[in-house]
Amino acid sequence: MVLGVDVGGTFTDAVLLTDGRVVTAKAPTTAADQSDGVLAAVETALERAGTTAGEVDRFVHGMTVGTNALLEGKVAATALLASEGFTDLEELGRQARAELYRLCAGHPPPLVPPGLRVGVRERMGPEGVLRPLDERALYGSIRALSHSEGVEAFAVCLLWGFRHPEHERRAAAILEEEVPDAHVSTSHETAGVFREYERAATTIVDAALSPLLRRYLERLGERARDLGLPNPEVMLSGGGVADAGTAARHGSWTVLSGPAGGSVGAARMAERSGAPDAVCLDMGGTSCDVSLAEAGSVKRTGGREVGGRALALPMVDVHTVGAGGGSVAWADAGGALRVGPRSAGADPGPACYGRGGFEPTVTDANLVLGYLDRGSPLAGGVELDLGAARRALADLGGRLELELEAVAAGIARVASAEMARAVRVVTVERGIDPRDLALVAFGGAGPLHAAAIADELGMRRIVVPRASGVLSALGLVAGERRRDLVESVLLAGGDLTEEAVGASVARLAARGREELHAPEAEVRASYDLRYAGQAFELTIAEAPEPDPGRLRRAFESAHEERYGYADSHADLELVTVRVTVAEPAADLIPGNDGAAAEETTRSALFDGRRMEAKVLGGAISRVSGPAICELPEATLVVPPGWSGGADVDGTIVLERG
Amino acid sequence: MDAVSLQVMVGALRAACDEMGVVLVRSAHSANVKERRDASTALFDPDGQMVMQAEHIPVHLGAMPSAVAAVVGEDHSSGDAWVLNDPYRGGTHLPDITVISPVLSGAELVGFAASRAHHADVGGATPGSMPADSRVLDDEGVVIPPTRLARAGRLDEELLHDLTGGMRAPAQRRADLRAQLAANRTGGMRLKELAARSGLGALGEAMRETLDYGERRTRARIAQLPDGDRDARDVLEAGEHDLPLRLTASVGGEGLLLDFTGSADQHDGNLNCPLAVTLSACYFAVRVLTDPDVPPSAGAYRPVRVIAPEGSLLNARPPAAVAAGNVETSSRVADLVLGAFGQALGQGTMNNLTLGNDDFTYYETLAGGQGACADADGPSAVHVAMSNTLNTPIEALELEFPLRAVEYSVRRGSGGAGEHRGGNGVVRELEALGRHALFADHRTPPARTSEPRGGPGERGRNVLNGVELPGKVDGELAPGDRMRIETPGGGGQEVDMAEVERVERVFLGLGIMGARMAANLCRAGFEVTAWNRTRARAEGLAEAHGARGPRHPPRRQATRGDDHDGRGRSAGRGCSSARTARRGPRRGRARADMSTIAPTASRAIADRPRRAPGRLPGRARDRLAPEGRGRHAHRHGRWRASRPSSSLDRCSPPWESSSCTSAAGATVR
């Protein structure tokens, strides 16, 4: 029996997979200590399943402890050791201002204040030592710092440390000697990549989050043990799973733990339904996360920004836009109807929640359109108030000179267009044609808009898992145990040989297998390559001992595909070697929840026309639009022209007729 | 077109431009485009009006339309492309090369796709094509008048080689130009798809609507700026003599006139701007001052009229040299416009730095301090005004160039003082490992020229081996030489008393405190509008002190009694009954809510603004509590804000200056 628990903004979801049965439970998220909500959801799930904690084999956790701490800036007091003359890297960033036309919009404040930045007298260059490490001076500054109250963590980021880590290692050893209780993150270990700002920012985030994560995971582990559960495993930002101890040592690895679970779950469910290549779209109350699945696994990126801070780590490549069920619709000064990014959130929430919200939201529009009704299964079992929704929309309609239903349809359309744009970012803008892909829609609101988004992009297939309301929790148990390792090598010309590359891969693979305690674990390699002089790299998956000729051909065909040209004369440069060491996850067999089929009808608006739509609940076999499918925690809208049915997993697959 | 289709079309056009930008940035070869993203992409209607532009770099805002205007009258067929960089025929300065592709659906012209990139070198006297001492345009590199680069899908390879032959690193130039062509192809494809989906006529209408939409949004914001003229002056240092810059900015209703008459004539250096550059700077500043999120289109700038006399520095005639006009003068033009509207000045330069020899060229613009805003500190270490490019990482710099970095840090203390501080500049010190030509250029206004309301930022410094050099340096570095650049800080900002003057003071309820306080304010010379349920009381105040009676009596909203008859009822309740109480003040207005309670209680309220919001008078989020009580309150004049709030900062000075307190709603424009 496996248990997945995902902590969301409003609710904590638990999914228990047992003998082909899926048991789900929800509990309110507890912000002060997420483990309260986790335990509450677990207990409910166990009770519903009529089983005990002792029966659970694996307990996988997706959390937002690190994300929230980062976004709110509530992190451990952290000091930075950096090459002398370069202690301000985090504050300098890449010198671009946060917003082009808002002059005083700032970047988030640096996590390490100026007083805790220490210049280390040393210097490495591209070829090695330029100035030896002055250890005496370093001892002195560390002692001076340890007098400042409460420094819990140290980040060590020296120039060229990714290539010549000797000084970083020595500095870490001295720290361990002098301040044995403090956490230490070094840049070559945390993010061994070229370019100092991204590496420094990542190392600082790692150091600043690690003490918090350790405390949280230790507490959760204790409470799990008291209950009789196995020690928790944690979903990492890259979609792999690690034991709690590893996650606690690397605070930066779980920053996207939450979205990673959803992406992994969606990718696996789509693959099981015969759609290994898919766009995964998770729409909740405040935002919409879009990611890509290729051959059944989530597409990842080597780095991105989270909350305005650079993180140079393997992460699921999730693009987020501010369009959710709670997004507020408004009329702008030019007379256009806009949706979001402001959200009514969960409190007061959409007008139809009846909690004091009076602004029209996407959920209110879906209610007026008839896609939702009073008893629709939205998170938290709120009863929806149609009158309140109509009042909120009528007010906006008055300003835009649109009838009530036109406003509702307009809000849904603008929200769908917004999400379609997000899908374009992860597909079209990366040279991928979305029309060849299926759309996996999940989250409380995703299936409501799936068909509209697919139509906007010319996509012809939609996949909606039955558990789409809790897919993030389901995805947790589908993640493989994995370590991702990275090393920038900067090899070009005659240095770019099979031996040199193979040695780097072997080094990383050995480290990964050791850390995973899995000597036989599978090794996958990929390579960040560029033409000399380019500033972006393309990541190419190839064999662990790649022949440089093959590497070049693979790079050129990828370059051609993405950018429309290749240059067979230009010098090729291997910037970074990426190695993944993984043990496959158990197959995800969600099974069925055994609900009986139900069928009613209600009036809903499609393409400007009121129609009587079938409303299907419980076990759904065939469906053709106009119809509405009530899933356990989500509602799927099937407009005319779309039809399909459920497969053995209960996943509904729709095709454009 | 309805509100929904309009928004969907705006989104589709924006997505198309963004996608063009992605193709361009990612497929170019030069660091300048790829890493620094010194490039722009845009779509135009068949008349050459820009309907949408991708947001990369503000300096191209006004300049893209001039480029398309230069070829719109030619005959176009599918697969054609034009190239140009002539500043006097659609360009800005020579390194910015624009490629324009007409988009046709069948035989019908649908519009144009255009892309512009700053090429790292286009020939000329010095590497980087930004010579410090150019006198005429030809000194600055290869001048490309509007030229057909491709015909019916066939690229003119011979022409391409001829054009790039006079530039350094021609292969990289060609690669970047091909990237621009690829970007245009993408834009063309998307435009044709839109035409196919909705029909040509509908697309044309949608483009017109998009332009009108941008215009409406800008007009709505200009209408909120107070009418009237504002002057701003600055001087641009140009060797022996300074060049005066002059602006009269006039707001009249929904229109804005920016008149640079009186600015210096064009000079024989290279600080001259073709009109397109001046327009870019003006459009940038207007967008900052009005609607920062308006989709960039020709429509958004229709309400703005710019006058720059021909032959002046800001509308130069050929063959004047223009290399530094685009990078330096344009920043100062933007500052001039922003300064006229009260924004503290930023670093006022892009700190151009070029190093190079026959083997390499390193060009970069450095961050500095942003000027403080009326409600916030200026950010440190960012690009200010017209540039917003990424830096060259130290490790990339040391890998690719014979240079070593000695220091890269925040220049502490360089931001100007004030209630809101200016941002700090940066320090970047490089050591030459080989022999390089050097060109560094930054300027800083010697003193703030708009009305000073805060401390100025520190000036920029160029220091070679410990010896300070002038702002503009041209020379050579030997191995071991250390060039240190300290970039300027931004100006600080004090609370703007002129803004305070514009505060409209409305009293709701003339009770024990209110009557006295309103009287004090009237005596202090402020204009006061007063309302009281017992009308006679307001009229009495008007008679005695010249207060205005209520123009819009809030009687309709006054649902509860608020008779301030001295029976100890909270004056705050008077406020709570007013319209502003239920939903808060209207956008752009703040409400200061005050009540007659003991100082200790008022402090407690100020310290706990949100704990029991329903029980607090009026549920106002921003709250001023007087440190005084009842009939004596007006003598104190000390105030505590419930939380830091710029709007309260703006309305508290008049209360303090008149030492009075009462129940009042203050609205701030």
CB A18 within 8 A of CB A71: no
CB B110 within 8 A of CB B104: yes
Q: CA-based Rg of chain A, rounded to a whole angstrom? A: 26
Task: Please state which of the ranges A86-100, A368-382, B195-209 shows the lowest mean pLDDT.
Answer: A368-382
A94 with B390: Cβ contact below 8 A:
yes
Is pLDDT at B445 greater than 70 in this prediction?
no
pLDDT tens-digit map of A449-460:
999 999 999 999
Please give the torsion angle defined by the CA atoms of residues B279, B284, B288 and B292, in that order, rounded to the nearest 10 degrees: 110
- Give the mean pLDDT of A534-557: 87
Confidence of residue A192 (pLDDT cuts 50, 70, 90): confident
CB B183 within 8 A of CB B101: no
Confidence of residue B197 (pLDDT cuts 50, 70, 90): confident
Per-residue pLDDT at B634: 47
Give the position of tokens 């999400």. A419
Per-residue pLDDT at A377: 63
**Minimal-distance CA residue of chain B relative to A531:** B29
CB B425 within 8 A of CB B416: no
Percent helix, percent strand, percent coil in chain A, to nearest 5: 35, 30, 35
Which are the contacts of B387, defined by CB distance < 8 A and separation ≥ 6?
Answer: B57, B58, B59, B327, B331, B350, B365
- Give the mean pLDDT of B61-69: 87
What is d(CA A488, CA A575) in angstroms, rounded to the nearest whole number?
5
Is pLDDT at A306 greater than 80 in this prediction?
yes
**B289 or B390: which leads in pLDDT:** B289
- Give the mean pLDDT of A67-83: 91
B27 with A564: Cβ contact below 8 A:
yes
Is pLDDT at B583 greater than 50 in this prediction?
no
What is d(CA A634, CA A64) in angstroms, rounded to the nearest whole number?
22
From the list B408, B407, B392, the residue with the least C-alpha distance to B355 is B392
Give the position of tokens 């989020």. B621
Per-residue pLDDT at B659: 37
Per-residue pLDDT at B620: 35
Is pLDDT at B272 greater than 80 in this prediction?
yes
What is d(CA B121, CA B357) in angstroms, rounded to the nearest whole number?
12
Residue ranges of alpha helices (H) inside A535-610 are 548-563
pLDDT tens-digit map of B549-558:
544 444 333 3
What is d(CA B67, CA B62) in angstroms, rounded to the nearest whole number?
10
ipTM value for the complex: 0.87
What is d(CA B166, CA B122) in angstroms, rounded to the nearest whole number?
7
Which are the contacts of B540, defined by CB distance < 8 A and separation ≥ 6?
Answer: none
- Give the mean pLDDT of A108-119: 94
Is pLDDT at A204 greater than 50 in this prediction?
yes
CATH of domain A260-476: 3.30.420
Confidence of residue B568 (pLDDT cuts 50, 70, 90): very low
Highest mean pLDDT among B233-247, B508-522, B593-607: B233-247
Is pLDDT at A10 greater than 70 in this prediction?
yes
Confidence of residue B59 (pLDDT cuts 50, 70, 90): confident
CB B367 within 8 A of CB A92: yes
CATH of domain B497-667: 3.40.50
A337 with B429: Cβ contact below 8 A:
no
Q: If DSSP states are collapsed to H, E and C, what string results for B322-356? A: CHHHHHHHHHHHHHHHHHHCCCCCCCCCCCEEEEE
From the list A246, A327, A320, the residue with the least C-alpha distance to A71 is A320
Residue B68 CB burial class (10 angstroms; 0-12, 13-18, ≥19): buried
- Give the mean pLDDT of B41-70: 89
CB A538 within 8 A of CB A574: no
**B649 or B97: which leads in pLDDT:** B97
Confidence of residue A286 (pLDDT cuts 50, 70, 90): confident
Per-residue pLDDT at B559: 30
**A82 or B634: which leads in pLDDT:** A82
**Minimal-distance CA residue of chain B relative to A162:** B395
pLDDT tens-digit map of A317-338:
999 888 889 999 999 988 899 9
B335 touches chain A (CB under 8 A): no
Portion of chain A with pLDDT greater than 90, in percent: 59
pLDDT tens-digit map of A219-256:
999 999 999 999 999 999 998 899 999 899 999 999 99
Per-residue pLDDT at A155: 98
The domain limits of chain B are 3-126+133-217, 350-494, 497-667
**Minimal-distance CA residue of chain B relative to A335:** B3
- Give the mean pLDDT of B586-590: 43
Per-residue pLDDT at B453: 67
Per-residue pLDDT at A590: 67
Contacts of A567 in chain B (CB under 8 A): 29, 175
Per-residue pLDDT at A518: 87
Which tokens is B292 given? 């920062």
CB A505 within 8 A of CB A523: yes
pLDDT tens-digit map of B107-120:
999 999 999 999 98
A104 with B395: Cβ contact below 8 A:
no
Phi-psi region of A349 (alpha: psi -120 to 50; beta: other; left: phi over 0): left
A97 with B18: Cβ contact below 8 A:
no
Is pLDDT at B528 greater than 90 in this prediction?
no
From the list A198, A199, A175, the residue with the least C-alpha distance to A188 is A199
Per-residue pLDDT at B128: 77
Task: Please state which of the ranges A238-247, B96-105, B319-328, B591-600 shows the lowest mean pLDDT.
Answer: B591-600
Mean residue pLDDT of chain A comes to 90
- Give the mean pLDDT of A337-364: 87
Mean residue pLDDT of chain B comes to 78
What is d(CA B194, CA B204) in angstroms, rounded to the nearest whole number?
10
Contacts of B373 in chain A (CB under 8 A): 103-104
Is pLDDT at B373 greater than 70 in this prediction?
yes
| CB proximity under 8 Å: B 198-217 to A | 213-217
Per-residue pLDDT at B571: 34
Per-residue pLDDT at B640: 46
A337 with B4: Cβ contact below 8 A:
yes
Contacts of B4 in chain A (CB under 8 A): 337, 402, 406, 409-410, 413-414
Edge-first strand listing for the sheet containing A241-243: A21-28, A11-18, A2-7, A58-62, A233-235, A241-243, A481-492, A572-583, A522-531, A538-542
| CB proximity under 8 Å: B 364-383 to A | 366-367, 370-373, 375-383
Residue A460 CB burial class (10 angstroms; 0-12, 13-18, ≥19): middle
Task: Please state which of the ranges A122-131, A142-151, B594-603 shows the lowest mean pLDDT.
Answer: B594-603
B370 with A103: Cβ contact below 8 A:
yes
Indicate the SS3 state at residue B25: helix
Per-residue pLDDT at A447: 95
| CB proximity under 8 Å: B 488-517 to A | none
Per-residue pLDDT at B641: 45
CATH 3.30.1490 at A481-583, yes or no: yes
Contacts of A196 in chain B (CB under 8 A): 393-395
